[in-house]
Amino acid sequence: MKEKKSKQGWFAIVRMYTISIVIGACLGVAANVMPDSVKEFFGGLWHNEIYGTGTGFWWIDTILCIIAFVLAYYLQIILHEGGHLFAGLMSGYGFVSFRIGSFVFMFEGRKIKVKRFAIAGTGGQCLMSPPDGFDVKTVPYIRYNIGGVLANCLASAVCFWILWMFQPPFPLNFFLAVMCFLGMLFSLMNGIPMKISGIANDTYNILMLRKDMIARRAFMLQLKANALLSQGTRLREMPEEWFVLPPDADFNNYLHVSIKMLEAGRLQDLGEQDEARRCLEELEPYLPRMIRIYRYEILCELAFYKIISDESREQIDEILTPQLKKYATQYSRFMLSKKRLLYAYALFVEKDNAKARQLYEEALQMKDSLPLKAEAESEIEMMERLTK
């Protein structure tokens, strides 16, 4: 296992360096063949001959550049997720939520509500619900996944055109140049199939969905379950057949794993803790090659089951490593499942009732700020069962 993990790590490093070298080579070739007029144009973004002297104060210009960069960064994220939204709506999907950073915008009735959530390795996310009664073989999935890349490409092209045609002054010229650069960067990061911080990007998803019907069904059911959870439907109330995988399911595929994790969540919501634990333990042999966020999520749940099963502290700490505990602590701000894990650890391992009570109070305060209200309700219920 260690040898396979090492080879996989080296492959990821080589792939990233190869992509960087190819991009650098392309930029170098472009710079060499670029007409003098174009070189002069881009040079003018930084020199006084074309656009003047800015404010005349270096520190003000520096602050303006930082502000322009931050605005461009978040605007490209909004455009990327907006591309997914537009393409999804055009494909018959329904709107569920729109996240920028840790701020989630969603409808409750006719009102827009702002919730809080975050996922490691992502700056935003547009979640939608697949068309009702979808057929796995014909359901559209390419446009929804590729919409963000196309939006970033279009934004870069428009900004380049404005720069070229109108040659605006500083700091607008700097803002547009950064928009061009970030748009191209986002397009490459999402347009070249890869995993970033353990998260599969848009085109990686497309490749998985194109060649694997089980993965395609899993992707659609993930979206459907998320939509229902946000509306207040518990996992235990969803059809059991949604969470049944065929015998040829491959747990080296993260989309197949997602359904197994939902199955475990449903069993947990039904109060069948032993079955939920066995469900997750089936995934243990595949953990070394699993995308990081899934690996951490599964390990956190397995650590929780060890804690409530009254296993020794050594056995618990063997799985709940400092790294995993750091992950749980970091995301306990947005995930009640992590708050539940820390609560159980304080209650049964540390024997610190005051700390456990504080974590429970924090969970109650978080409940209404989270986008998946059914999941929040389930988590609070599980925490309360631990003290009965």
- pLDDT tops 80 at residue 22: no
pLDDT of residue 44: 54
Place of tokens 């197949």: 256
250-264 confidence digits (pLDDT tens): 999 999 999 999 999
Q: How many CB atoms lie within 10 A of CB 3?
A: 7
Nearest to 229 by CA among 262, 264, 193, 181: 262
Q: Where are the beta strands (DSSP E) in 119-175?
A: 124-129
* pLDDT confidence band for 18 (50 / 70 / 90): low
Give dist(CA 296, CA 325) in Å, integer: 10
286 and 251 Cβ atoms separated by less than 8 Å: yes
| Overall average pLDDT of the 57-75 stretch | 82
pLDDT at position 34, please? Answer: 42
Count other C-beta atoms under 10 Å from residue 74's C-beta: 15
Rg (the chain; Cα; Å)? 24
- With contact defined as beta carbons under 8 Å apart, do 20 and 194 qualify? no
Residue bearing the bigger pLDDT, 321 or 12 = 321
Q: List the one residue out of 298, 191, 301, 205 whose CA is nearest residue 253.
A: 205
Q: Under DSSP, is residue 103 helix (H, G, I), strand (E, B) or coil?
A: strand
Task: Give the per-residue pLDDT at 50.
Answer: 38
25, HSE (Cβ side, Cα atoms, 13 Å): 6
Q: Which of the four pLDDT bands, split at 50, 70 and 90, describes residue 23? A: low
What's the pLDDT tens digit per position in 354-384? 999 999 999 999 999 999 999 999 999 999 9
pLDDT at 27 over 70: no
- Which residues, including other chains, have CB under 8 Å from residue 221's CB and lie 6 or more apart? 242, 259, 262
pLDDT computed for residue 310 by the predictor = 83
Q: Are 174 and 52 in contact (CB under 8 A)?
A: no
Residue 19 predicted with pLDDT over 60: no
The mean of the pLDDT values for the chain is 85
pLDDT tens figures, 180-196: 889 998 998 898 888 77
d(CA 388, CA 382): 10
* 155-186 pLDDT, tens digit each: 999 999 998 888 888 788 888 888 988 999 89
pLDDT of 61 > 80? The answer is no
Q: Which long-range contacts (CB under 8 A, 24 or more apart) does 211-216 make?
A: 212/253, 212/255, 213/136, 213/137, 214/245, 214/246, 214/248, 214/249, 214/250, 214/253, 214/255, 214/256, 215/253, 215/255, 215/256, 216/136, 216/139, 216/141
Residues 285-315 have pLDDT tens digits of: 999 988 888 999 999 999 999 999 988 888 9
Residues 190/152, Cβ–Cβ less than 8 Å: yes
Q: The whole model's pTM is what?
A: 0.82
The length of the chain is 388
pLDDT over 80 (residue 12): no
The pLDDT assigned to 132 comes to 85
> Alpha-carbon distance 148 to 85, whole Å?
8
Tokens of 101: 């950073």
d(CA 129, CA 218): 13
CA distance 73 to 67: 10
- Look at residue 104 in the predicted model and tell me its pLDDT: 95
Task: Tell me how far the alpha carbon of residue 119 is from its chain's centroid.
Answer: 5
Contact 95, 128 (CB under 8 A): yes
Q: Give the whole-angstrom CA distance, residue 122 versus residue 169.
A: 33
- Long-range interactions of 228-233: CB distance < 8 A, separation 24+: 228/374, 229/372, 229/373, 229/374, 229/375, 230/96, 230/97, 230/106, 230/371, 230/372, 230/373, 230/374, 231/373, 231/374, 232/373, 232/374, 232/377, 233/374
Residue 7 is predicted with a pLDDT of 46
Q: Per-residue confidence at 8, pLDDT binned at 50, 70, 90?
A: very low
Average pLDDT over residues 63-67: 84
pLDDT digits (tens, 9 = 90+) for 98-119: 999 889 999 988 899 999 998 8
The ranges assigned to domains in the chain are: 54-206, 213-385
State the Cα angle at 51 between 48 and 52, rounded to 5°: 55
Q: What is the pLDDT of residue 4?
A: 43
pLDDT of residue 121: 67
